[in-house]
Amino acid sequence: MKCLVTGGAGFIGSNLVKLLLREGRDIVVLDNLTTGYKQNVEKSPRVEFIEGDVRDAALVERLSADTEVIFHLAASVGNARSIEDPVLDSQINIIGTIHILEAARKNRVRKVVFSSSAGIFGQLKTLPISEDHSVEPDSPYGASKLGAEKLCLAYSKLYDLDTVALRYFNVYGINQRYDAYGNVIPIFAHRMLHGEPIIIFDDGEQTRDFVNVQDVALANYKASIAEGVSGPFNVASGTAVTINRLVDMMKEVCDIDPVIEYALPRKGDVRDSQADIAAAKAAFGYEPAVELEDGLAQYMDWARKEAG
């Protein structure tokens, strides 16, 4: 099976590429290296790296030729970034996705596995969140991911193309480098390892559903080989932890006791989050295997080495 992985030099994409290699796949990685890193790309004769952008329709169409599955992970990620530059957010997340879908249609690709986000839900009305929860995103990022997801699902109805939208919750793990716009875990890790105070927005009792990147990569792969499966699916751990408890766990695994400061809540952040993952389990056998304590220990060890 030949695969195209957009965003394959990034955090989640690079972990997916490793898994695909272990499964014996041939892979083309497309990444513009805005947030990805070339050193993340596996060195293998079965991996071809192309530096380019999903907004380049001709390039995407060329790379999709003779491809069975496209894993579309390339994106402008994060609420704060999208609020600062909503036009760029939509150009990458919506226009880039339509280029992927058109290339898949023209080249008769069997399946597109799209990386969506729990950001599409907005403020939550019920917990845990199932796929049929109302979608009222609170940021341009959530709106653009929802728009791209709807495009994917429309293509699966109109054309001979299976599309799966994986709605990621809070993904963390190896190759997730510090980014002030990014996930809370690498931000906290960076501050802890550099002796800086940890800043918690709100009271720290808000909850998140953290899922390890190894489980996310496996969800992508299992979705890609599931025959006749299309639609949206939550990808998470199915459990919730408070931010205060997360900090305590990180302190325990790395034996660092940072100063903690509290700040006002941020626009676009939801209060609580926990996913119902039963649909993904039923459709393609998704079952998260990495416990948060184990994943944090692994990540903090990697982050410490990265920090030198």
197 to 190, 258, 263, 293, 297: CA distances (angstroms): 10, 6, 12, 22, 20
The one catalytic residue among 37, 141, 159, 286: 141
Q: If you count them, how many residues does the chain have?
A: 308
- CA neighbours closer than 13 Å in the CB half-sphere of residue 302: 15
CA–CA distance, 231 with 193 (Å, rounded to integer): 41
Tokens of 104: 């898949």
Residue by residue, DSSP assigns the chain as -EEEEETTTSHHHHHHHHHHHHTT-EEEEEE--SS--GGGS---TTEEEEE--TT-HHHHHHHTTT-SEEEE------HHHHHH-HHHHHIIIIIHHHHHHHHHHHTT-SEEEEEEEGGGS-S-SSSSBPTTS----SSHHHHHHHHHHHHHHHHHHHSS-EEEEEEE-EEE-TT----TTS-HHHHHHHHHHTTPPEEEETTS--EE-EEEHHHHHHHHHHHHHSTT--EEEEES-S--EEHHHHHHHHHHHHT----EEEEPPPTT--S---B--HHHHHHH-------HHHHHHHHHHHHHHHH-
141 catalytic per annotation: yes
Active site residues: 141
